[in-house]
Every structure is written in C-alpha cells, then in structure tokens.
Structure 1
Amino acid sequence: MILIVDDKKENILPLKKILELHSLSADSAESGEEALKKILKVNYSLIIMDVQMPGMDGFEVVETLAGSNRTKDIPVIFLSAVNKQKKFISRGYESGGVDYITKPVDSDLLILKVKTFLKLFEQQKELKNIRDILSKEVEIRKEAEENLERKVAERTRELLEKNQELEFSNHELQQFTWVVSHDLKEPLRKIEIFTKIIKDKYLKEDDKAVDYANRTIGSAERMGKLINDLMDYSRLSSVVLPEKMELSEIFQEVLSDLEYVIDEKKATLKLDSFPSLKGVPSQLRQVFQNLIGNALKFSKKDVAPIIEISCERISTKEFNSALSAEGKFCKIVVKDNGIGFDVKYLDKIFVIFQSLNDRSAYEGTGIGLAIAKKIIEKHNGLITAKSELEIGSSFIIILPLY
C-alpha cells in the first residue's frame, strides 16, 4: 500500500489514478498530522510526500518517521511543484527521503521509480526474514555441535554484518538509484559468496538451512540482474549521438555472443542481407541480442529453434507499408518457432516489469522488451509483435535509414 500525502485533493486524485492504472493500491492523507496517524495504524510500503503543507510540512513528517524504528525504513519520495531550489532538495535527502521529484513529473518515470523503490523495500524485508530464519537454525545446531558452534556463530555474525551493510547501502543508494545503482553489486556479491561458504561448509547436514541459504543466494542473483537491467534502462535517457553503422556487423556480434546457447539448443538461424543506417551500435546490439536471446530462451521443449531474421526496404514508417527499393525505412522481422504468446497481451509485453511466463521456468526481470521498445523509439522507429501459442512469435521493427 502506498500513502500519498498532499493538502490538495486535486493533486491526490491524478496520482491515485496513475498508480491504479499500474495495479498499485494507494491511500491518502491531506495533512502531515493525518499522515502520521495513518502510518501508526497501517504498514505502508512507500510514501509520496508533498513538501509545502499547512501545519507540519513534508520535511517535518519525514524527520518524525526517521526517529521511529518502525517507520524509519519506509521509503519516502518528495514530490513538489513549488520548492525546486537546491536547498529544499538537499533538505529532502537530509530528512530521510529516498528521492526528490519536481513537477511537472513524467508519469512513466514516476511509476518506474515507485516500482523500483517498492522492489528494493520488499527485497530488504525478504533478506531480513531469511536472515532471522538462518539465525534460528544456527541456534538449534549450536546445541548439538559444540565444535561447530564457534565457527557457525562467527560466520553468522559476518553474514549479519554484511546484511546490515546492505540495508544501509539500500537506504542510501535509493536516493541515487539512477546514478549509482552499480554500487549495490559488490555487497550483493559478498552476500552470495558468504552464504555459499556457510552452506557448503556448515549446513550440509541440515536440508532446511540449505534451502534457506539457496533462497538467499537466488535473491541476491535476481537483485543483481534487476540492477543491471535498471541501469541499462536508465542510461537510455542520456543523449548519445548516432553514427553510421552496418546492421550486418551488429548481427554477427550478437550471434558471436550467443554462440554457446545457439550450439546448446542446436538452433538454426537464417539471416537476410542488411543495409547500413544511422544509430547507436551498442543500443541496437542490445535490442537484437534481447530478441534473439528470447527466441532461444522461449523455444519449445525437444524442438530445435529456427530463427529467421529478414529485412525489407519500405516507403513509409508503417507496419503495412509497401515495399520500395528507394524507401527511407527498413522493416526487420525476427521470427521464431517457439512457445509464442496470446496476442491479447501484446501491449503488456513491452511494459517494464511485465512477464507473461512462469519466472520459475524462464528467468528474467521483465525489463528486456521495455528496453528494446525505448531504444527503438529513441531511434525514431517502431516495434510490435505477432504471435500464436505453440506456433511462434514474430517481432517487427521499423527503423529509418537516414
């Protein structure tokens, strides 16, 4: 549940509507005092806080929350249309806020930040729960194994210290997620390494403890992948000058990177000839690596993947445009014979954090196609898909040649 705090109803209603469109439930308070009363009764996962309000202002409310063990870890995003000066933004972070957004705000960016902070908050809770469970298991083992007790206690203390470091890092880094999110990788790597050491050396005889350790390792790996994908997504907002490039070279680089998976799956790839165009090579390489990687990942069991990549020159920037040898656009189609998807979910697949498949069977963060869509749009292009369950999918891209 998200709490919106603003003294003006006309500000609360559109925010609630934006959150509801993304299936995020929201509550509201029209003053700082009302917000504190509600927070005492309800466990909120995120607070969107106005700064300038009669009575207690937003800074005072957040400083009050920071003084309580129960509420100090609730992420708070300041949202203000008036207090845009650096001194107000600085005070927002100093009071305990994780971000400070000035109006007018990009609704897509707001939702992206909200979902990111919610994800980090839930990840933090999960790590705390697993840490507590592991501590209890260690206490049980201490009674039966005197010689192991000291080593397990030492390793457990180290794990708790690393967890506390991660919690502190999460609290600080949430303020600058889009700039320094790579700083989270190192503590995550240490949690994974130390948990593996504990599991392999001290928990072999306890299946339940091994299961909890494996969950911790899995959580750390998923978090690392999410950070990488979010960094990729956030980089797309920066301006990069396009350059003349050969699409055929991009595809060869992608196939080289995916060579192991292609061989492992015994996949067949059929490539057309491709024109040169102006673009950002690293970004377009990411698009086609994602599409071809998905075609390999979502292949049918015991059926060798067949991936066809065709290219046609067309006259206009439309999916149904006529072919033209002098056309200023190219239409690229990445077609596979995989598991496919129901076309009624077409709009959903390009939305960040959305996944149509069972994540226990198919790994992923739900960001790849959102990144692809944003890259293609930054190249003044279009992307869509056609699919049929158990038949396969075709992803269609239109890019300008000049």
Structure 2
Amino acid sequence: MILIVDDKKENILPLKKILELHSLSVDSAESGEEALKKILKTNYSLIIMDVQMPGMDGFEVVETLAGSNRTKDIPVIFLSAVNKQKKFISKGYESGGVDYITKPVDSDLLILKVKTFLKLFEQKQELKNIRDILSKEIEIRKEAEENLERKVAERTSELLEKNKELEFSNHELQQFTWVVSHDLKEPLRKIEIFTKIIKEKYLIDEEKATDYANRTIGSAGRMAKLINDLMDYSRLSSSVLPEKINLSDIVQEVLSDLEYLIDEKKATIKTNNFPEIIGVPTQLRQVFQNLIGNALKFSKTDELPVIEITSEIIETKDFESKANSNGNFCRIEVKDNGIGFDEKYLDKIFVIFQSLNDRAAYEGTGIGLAIAKKIIEKHNGLITAESQIGIGSSFIIVLPIKK
C-alpha cells in the first residue's frame, strides 16, 4: 500500500485518483504526526511525502522513519511545488528520500517511478525473506548434516522458480534500465561524494571513523558496478541489428582498453588472425573484455600472466570439430596460466551472481560470464571452459561465420 502525506486535501485527491487508476492501493494522512501514527499500525511499501507542512515537515518525518529498523527501508518520494531550490533537493536525499519530484508532475513519469520503487521494495523484502530462510537452514545443517543435500536441492528449486517469476518482459526491462540510469545512480553518487567530504573535512584524525567512511565509499562503488552490470545484462533482451565485423579489430580494441592492466601485471598476450563474422560489435567486445579481463584478474601472484587468444575455422558447430578452412564456424580459445578452478563447478560459472573465488580477494559481481554466455547464445554460438586448479583456464567459443 502507498501512503500519501500532504496537509491539503486538494493535493491528495488527484494524486490518489491517478494511483488508483493503475490499481494501486492508496492511503493518506494530512500531517506528519498523523502519518507517523498510521505507519506504526500499517505496513506501507512506498510513501509520497509533501515537504512543506505545518508541525512536522516532510524532512522531519523521514528522518524519524530512518531512526527505526521497522521503517528505515520504506522508500520515500518527496513531492513539492514550493521548495524547488537545490538545497531543498539535497536535503531530501540527505534525510533518506529515494527521489525528489517538483510540481507540476508528469503523471506518466510519476507512475513509472512509483511502480519501479514498489517493485524494488518488494524484491528487497523477498530477498530478506529468502536470507532469513537460508539462515535457518544453516542451523538445520549443523543439526542434521545427512539432510543437507535434500534441503539444498529443494531450496535451489524454489529459488529458480522465484527467479522465473521475477523475469521482466522486454518492455519492463527497458523501463527498468531507464529508471536505473536516471534515478538509482544519483543517490549512490551522493552517498559517495558526501562520505568523501565528511572523511576529508571532519575525520582527518579519526582512524576508526575514516575506516568506516572508506568502507561506505567502497560499498557505494560496488553497488554502482552491480547496477551497471545489471543494466548490461538487461539490455541484452533488446533487439540489435547485426553487422559484418572483423574479430581481429574487436580483440585489438579490447587489448588497447586493458593496456594499463596488462602493463601493471607484466602480462604476455599472444594472438593470431581472426575471421570476419556477422554479429553485434559492442556485445562481442564485451565478451572478450570479460574473458581477457578475468584472465588478468585471476592470475597467480608468483608467476607472470601469459594469455593466448587463438582462432581457427572448423567444420561444424561443435567444440571438438575438425579444423577446415572452408568450414562455416570458428572456434576461439582464450587460454591463461592463472589460478584456475575445479571443473565440477563448470555449470555454475555461467550463472548470474555465481562466483567461485573469494570476493574479498577478487572484486566482481558474478555477472560477467553470465553476460558472455547470453551474448554468445544470441549469436547462435556455444561457450564452455576447461580448467585445472593452479594450472590455468581455457574458455572456448564456437561462432558461426558468413563468407
């Protein structure tokens, strides 16, 4: 349910009507004090808050909500026709609001934002419920180790079903990507900027506080990267016209982009010639960016990285196909001498949010290889990997070519 807080009924009624036309449940309060009383009794998924009210203003109400574990996660959209200055907008974000909209309001944009924040809140609650359930399962594991495999299989099946239920349609994904790029990144940037200001101006001699500030900045950066990766993943659902491209050019562009990291790691890169194919340049560039970037990231500390990127024309769409210069497919291999992984986890590495390495030692979101797999499949290709722990890994791609 959505709560509208405004001291003027004439402001509440049209807004309530707009939301109800989209089948959204709406409640209202005509003061900050009344809103707090209602919030204590009712669970709301979103609050639309007027800034200027007699008694408690909107900022004070939101700051009060932020002080309670029960209410701190409720998303609040500030709506104001009067306080349009930058200082008020900044104060809105600082007090805990997720957005600040000034009147007159574009009703379509408002509905899009409301639905998006409702969806994000619901998903967050679902993830919290899943986390609580998983915590209980850990206790069960300690008490009954023999039942672990059965319970993990049941939970995995449930999570997979939940993942299917949460799949967006192509149109919804485009809307989500727009909102992410315009509305979710901005609060993160403010968190990072304000935390840096606090650290540099007020925490110079406070070692522990500086450490907490650095952790906050790092968390904001990781969240921003996660948002970018999710946006990349969601964009793959949209249609893009393929074109004739030279894979050699794509590989060289990626190596140029990674030049600083290659020099820093003192890595040796070996390549040969690649064929021309029909595909989407930006997407295939992302595949090589992920594979070569991973080869550099997961290198050994006591051995300089050696990365071989090779290609050959083959007869059929098969990893074991024979080489044939007149074939209709190409087999590409990205081979490294890095830390490797256990091949029993091969099915997991191409699944979104899966990571086989210690994230404290190797930064990442667990999305890169899932993106690579989705791109290769959209190009009617195949991708797999071979690896040995401590020896290195090889990622093999098969793509169709067009003469």
Which TM-score tier does this pair reach, normalised by the shorter chain?
A: 0.5 to 0.7
Name stretches of at least 5 consecutive residues in structure 2 with no aligned partner. Answer: 2-21, 29-34, 49-64, 73-86, 102-112, 120-174
Cα distance in 2 for partners of 1:314, 1:345 equals 28
1:41-56 matches, cutoff 5 A: none
Q: Structure 1 residues 161, 181: closer, same or farther in 2, change over 3 A?
A: closer
Q: Percent identity?
A: 64
Cα distance in 1 for partners of 2:257, 2:266 equals 15
> Does 253-262 or 216-225 show the bigger shift?
216-225
Cα distance in 1 for partners of 2:217, 2:67 equals 10
Whether the aligned pair in 1 keeps the contact of 2:329 and 2:399 (CA below 8 Å) is: yes
Q: Structure 1 residues 371, 168: closer, same or farther in 2, change over 3 A?
A: farther
Q: CA deviation at 1:68?
A: 3.6
Partner of 2:375: 375
TM-score, structure 2 normalization: 0.61
Partner of 1:142: none
Partner of 1:227: 227
Q: CA deviation at 1:168?
A: 7.4
Q: CA deviation at 1:213?
A: 1.5
1:273-312 matches, cutoff 5 A: 273-312=273-312
Whether the aligned pair in 1 keeps the contact of 2:66 and 2:96 (CA below 8 Å) is: no
Q: CA deviation at 1:320?
A: 1.2
> Does 329-338 or 206-215 show the bigger shift?
206-215
Q: Structure 1 residues 235, 188: closer, same or farther in 2, change over 3 A?
A: same
Cα distance in 2 for partners of 1:258, 1:163 equals 40
Q: Structure 1 residues 313, 303: closer, same or farther in 2, change over 3 A?
A: same
Cα distance in 2 for partners of 1:359, 1:198 equals 27
Q: CA deviation at 1:324?
A: 1.4
Q: CA deviation at 1:162?
A: 2.7
Question: What is the CA deviation profile of residues 182-209 of structure 1, one whole-angstrom value per residue up to 9, with x for unaligned ones?
Answer: 1222221121011011011112222332
Q: Which amino acid aligns with 1:344?
A: K
Partner of 1:178: 177
Partner of 1:349: 349
Partner of 1:191: 191
Q: CA deviation at 1:296?
A: 0.3
Cα distance in 2 for partners of 1:275, 1:315 equals 14
TM-score, structure 1 normalization: 0.61
Partner of 2:141: none
Whether the aligned pair in 1 keeps the contact of 2:336 and 2:394 (CA below 8 Å) is: yes
Q: CA deviation at 1:328?
A: 0.3
Cα distance in 2 for partners of 1:364, 1:127 equals 32
1:3-402 matches, cutoff 5 A: 63=26, 68=39, 71-73=43-45, 161-162=93-94, 164-166=96-98, 173-174=116-117, 175=119, 176-183=175-182, 184-402=184-402
Whether the aligned pair in 2 keeps the contact of 1:163 and 1:191 (CA below 8 Å) is: no
Question: What is the CA deviation profile of residues 241-261 of structure 1, one whole-angstrom value per residue up to 9, with x for unaligned ones?
Answer: 110010000011001000000
Q: CA deviation at 1:72?
A: 2.4
Cα distance in 2 for partners of 1:126, 1:221 equals 23
Indicate the SS of the match to 1:213. Answer: helix
Whether the aligned pair in 1 keeps the contact of 2:92 and 2:100 (CA below 8 Å) is: no
Q: Structure 1 residues 206, 359: closer, same or farther in 2, change over 3 A?
A: same
Name stretches of at least 5 consecutive residues in structure 1 with no aligned partner. Answer: 1-31, 33-57, 76-93, 95-124, 133-154
Residues paired across the two proteins, number: 272
Cα distance in 1 for partners of 2:258, 2:324 equals 33
Whether the aligned pair in 2 keeps the contact of 1:295 and 1:307 (CA below 8 Å) is: yes
- Give the ranges of 4+ consecutive aligned residues of structure 1 lying more than 4 Å apart after TM superposition: 62-67, 125-129, 157-160, 167-173
